Amino acid sequence: MTPLIIFYRILNQEELSLLIMKTKILVYADEGVSPYYLRHLVRWLKQTLPVEENLEICRVGADFLLYDPLWELFTRLLIIPGGADRPYHKKLHGLGTVRIDNYVREGGGYLGICAGAYFACKSLSFEEPNGEMFVASRSLGFFPGRAVGPAYGNLFSYTSPIGVRAAPLIINHSGKRCMTLFNGGPYFDQADSYPEITIEARYEDLPSQPAAIISRQLGKGRVVLSGLHIEYLPEHCHMGEDNVVEAREKLKTTDAILGQYRESLLSYLLNSESEGSSVSATGLIES
């Protein structure tokens, strides 16, 4: 009787990724994340993600990104939402940011919104509500320059919506304009000087119209950073402060344009294997 000999070997990460479907959307939900903007983000994702792909939204903490051995293989997109950048840095700097960087370079997607955008820049400067300037370096460096905020000055609070306003946005490739929610986010300083960076949209009413949303191709993966709360859904906001009500009503006037635009940003991130190095180059937005 001829013996049956079975040969096997351990697959490397690239081979495993070919066998495993990337069906997870990871949303960071640890210390520093704003519960309010987290709820808006999850609602937006549920409304927008393509049903046919059966993508699962998973809220994860720092320990998961640090120590889960296989999250990169299952993850289609990692989102770091709004809140406060310093707790993100405290928990993820080092092993966490190394793994996030490798994940993107190997074909993943990263969406950073407000604090998640500050966190992904090489450096940041932030004017605190008391006028003091906080300046720091960050290790991801997806934007190789400096995030400067709040873009509209230090009318901002960590505990109230006093800094909320509607910011007029110019979408670069089409010239379309829409209103988008702002609350303490940055602009990306001298983004034009970095050839690897694509400016997707600009603040229309700030001097020199600095970059408000940027993208880049990084290795096999893609990054989108937004200083604005593109995830905000006016119909789910029930806050009564005058400035919030005013912002909400202004956003409703261009909601269709913003809705189409943020859907194109999400599609760009979910389809890293498609051609095109920017959102507009993918042809996902109607001109």
DSSP conformation letters of the chain: -PPP--------HHHHHHHS---EEEEE-STTB-HHHHHHHHHHHHHHS-GGGT-EEEEE-HHHHHH-TTHHHHEEEEEE-SB-HHHHHHHHTTHHHHHHHHHHHTT-EEEEETHHHHTTEEEEEEE-TTSPEEEEE-S--SEEEEEEE-TT-S---SSSSTT-EEEEEEETTT--EEEEEESS--EETTGGG-TT-EEEEEETTSTT--EEEEEEEETTEEEEEESSBTT--GGG-----HHHHHHHHHHHHTHHHHHHHHHHHHHHHH-TTSS-SSTGGGT-S--
41 contacts 113 by C-beta, under 8 angstroms:
yes
Q: Which residue has 């309010």 as its token pair?
A: 36
Q: Provide the pLDDT for residue 234.
A: 86
For residue 179, is pLDDT > 90? yes
- Domains of the chain, start order: 21-274 (3.40.50.880)
pLDDT band for 239, please (50, 70, 90 cuts): confident
pLDDT at 62: 99
Question: Which of 168, 219, 217 minimizes the C-alpha distance to 194?
Answer: 217
**Residue of 148, 179, 149, 184 whose CA lies nearest to 163:** 184
pLDDT digits (tens, 9 = 90+) for 130-145: 999 999 999 999 999 9
pLDDT of residue 7: 41
Render pLDDT for 31-86 as a digit per residue (tens, 0 to 9): 999 999 999 999 999 999 998 899 999 999 999 999 999 999 999 999 999 999 99
Looking at residues 238-251, what average pLDDT do you find?
Answer: 90
CA distance 155 to 100: 32
Compute the average pLDDT of residues 14-41.
86
Q: What is the pLDDT of residue 4?
A: 47
Encoded tokens for 204: 């229309």
Q: Tell me the per-residue pLDDT of 191-235, one tens digit each, with 9 for 90 and over.
A: 999 999 999 999 999 999 999 999 999 999 999 999 999 999 888
**Percent of the residues in the chain that have a pLDDT greater than 70, as a whole number:** 88
Per-residue pLDDT band at 178 (split at 50, 70, 90):
very high
> 10 Å Cβ neighbour count for 188?
27
Q: Which residues contact 83 (CB under 8 A, 6 or more apart)?
A: 32, 33, 34, 37, 38, 114, 115, 116
Whether the pTM exceeds 0.85: the reply is yes
Least confident of 4-8, 194-198, 205-209, 248-252: 4-8
Q: How distant is the alpha carbon of residue 87 from its chain centre?
A: 17
Average pLDDT over residues 111-137: 97
CA distance 83 to 88: 9
